[in-house]
Amino acid sequence: MATLEPEVLKVAASQSALELEGIDHVELYVGNAYQAAHFYRTMFGFRPVARAGLETGVRDRLSIVVEQGEIRLVLTSGLHPDSPITQHVAVHGDGVKDVAFRVADVEGAYRTAVSRGAVPVAEPQVLQSDAGRVVRATIGGPGAGVHSLVERQDYMGEFLPGFEPIDDAPHTVSTGLTEVDHVAVSMEQGGLDNWVAFYKDVLGFHQSHHEMVWTKNSAMNSKVVEDASGKIKFPIQEPAVNGGKSQVQEYLNFNHGAGAQHVAFLTDDAVATVRAIRDNGVHFLRVPGSYYDMLEARVGEVDPPVMAALKELGILVDSDDDGRLLQIFSEPVTSRPTMFVEIIERQGAKGFGSGNIKALFEAVEREQELRGNI
C-alpha cells in the first residue's frame, strides 16, 4: 500500500470531520424561474422534475428543479420586490447563489465549519415529509454566494420536502451532460489567497493547481482547490496587478462583486454534446483555425476525423500526465457578460486546460472588444 504524504494525510483528516460526499445541487437566483427552466431544458437538455411555489404553500419564491445525469440545478425567483432573492438578482443579475454539498452529518459538518471560521447563514433545519427526512444548513461563501450542507437520510421524494413532482413537463432530449466537474469563482484583486485559505482551513480542501496568464490586454492569477476525493473543485481567479480589463474584471464589474463565473459540466462525448447544444442555439467562443495547426505538437497525434470535428466545433484539447482533456466555453448565458458554461470531457486528465488558457483568454477578449469593454 502506498504511503500518503503528510500533507495528504492532513487534508484527509481535516475533511473527515465534515464528511463531504460531493455536490448535491447548484442553485441559481434568476429573474424568471419559468423562463430559466425553459432555457436550460431546450438549450442544454435538463429535465424539469420538481417545483415549489405558491401552489405548494411557499409564499416568497418559485423554485424549479431541473436534472440531467447526476446534475441538479435549482432555479429560484423571488415573488416580491423586497425579497432578498429579487434584490440579489437586481444587484448581481441571474447567476449561481448556492453550491450545496452532500454531507453525512449536517449538524457535525456545520458546527465544525463554523468553529473553523465559516460565517453561519442558516442553522441546521430538519425538513420532513412522507417521503423521508432531509437536514439542511448553510454557511457563507465567496461574494454573495453560500454553501448549503445537505444530509439525505434515504429521502425518496423529489429534491426536498415541500417540493412537488413535475409530471407534465414537455419531452426533453438529453445532451449527454453527466456531472458538475467544477465551479469557477472570480474575485477582486487581493481576495484570492484569503478564499484559498478558507477552502483549505475551513472545508479541508487542498490546492491542486496554480496558473498565471498574461495577454496583451490583461492578466489573471488562478488557483484551484479541491476536496480529498476530487469530486468538488473550485478554480478561483483574480485580476493580476496591472492586468488591464481582463475577463475577470469584466465579470466583477457587471456582477458587482465576487461570485461564480462559470459552471463546468462533464460529458463522456464532447463532440456529440457540443454539437447537440450548438444545434439547440447555444453560442460558443471561437479560437483561430491556426490553433489546430499546432495542436498535435502539444498533445500528440489526433485521428483526422476527430480533428475535423474538433475544428468544426471549436473544441480545445490539452493533455497532462494522466491523459487528455477536451473543453469549450459558451458565450455568456445571461443578459450581463457574467455567467457562462463550460463543457468538458476528461480522457484521464486531471488538469484544467493549462495549455489552452491563453487561447481562451484571447478568444474572450475578442468578445469583450465587441461589447466595448476593452
Q: Mean pLDDT over residues 35-55, rounded?
A: 98
Kindly state whether residue 1 falls inside one of the protein's structural domains.
no
Cα(249)–Cα(34) distance, integer angstroms = 31
Kindly state whether residue 171 falls inside one of the protein's structural domains.
no
Split into its structural domains, the chain has a count of 2
Domain that holds residue 60: 6-165
Kindly state whether residue 280 falls inside one of the protein's structural domains.
yes
Final residue before a domain boundary, out of 145, 165, 185: 165
Kindly state whether residue 287 falls inside one of the protein's structural domains.
yes
CA distance from start to end of the chain: 54
Kindly state whether residue 320 falls inside one of the protein's structural domains.
yes
Predicted structure pTM score: 0.91
Final residue before a domain boundary, out of 125, 140, 165: 165
Confidence of residue 371 (pLDDT cuts 50, 70, 90): confident
Cα(183)–Cα(120) distance, integer angstroms = 22
pLDDT digits (tens, 9 = 90+) for 248-292: 889 999 999 999 999 999 999 999 999 999 999 999 988 888 888
pLDDT digits (tens, 9 = 90+) for 160-185: 999 999 999 999 999 999 999 999 99
Kindly state whether residue 193 falls inside one of the protein's structural domains.
yes
Question: Domain containing 150 — which CATH number?
Answer: 3.10.180.10
Could you tell me if 274 and 193 lie in one domain? Answer: yes
Percent pLDDT > 90 in the chain is 79
Could you tell me if 71 and 216 lie in one domain? Answer: no
Final residue before a domain boundary, out of 111, 134, 165: 165
- Kindly give the interhelix angle for 270-280 and 33-44, rounded to the nearest 10 degrees: 130
Kindly state whether residue 172 falls inside one of the protein's structural domains.
no
Could you tell me if 126 and 75 lie in one domain? Answer: yes
pLDDT digits (tens, 9 = 90+) for 217-252: 667 899 999 999 999 999 999 998 765 577 888 999
Predicted local distance difference test score (pLDDT) of residue 2: 33
Amino acid residing at 27:
E
Could you tell me if 127 and 269 lie in one domain? Answer: no
Could you tell me if 35 and 161 lie in one domain? Answer: yes
Could you tell me if 106 and 227 lie in one domain? Answer: no
Predicted local distance difference test score (pLDDT) of residue 5: 46
Could you tell me if 19 and 51 lie in one domain? Answer: yes
Cα(17)–Cα(177) distance, integer angstroms = 31
Predicted local distance difference test score (pLDDT) of residue 360: 61
Kindly state whether residue 170 falls inside one of the protein's structural domains.
no
DSSP 43-75: HH-PEEEEEESGGGT--SEEEEEEEETTEEEEE
Sign of dihedral through CA atoms 84, 88, 89, 90?
positive
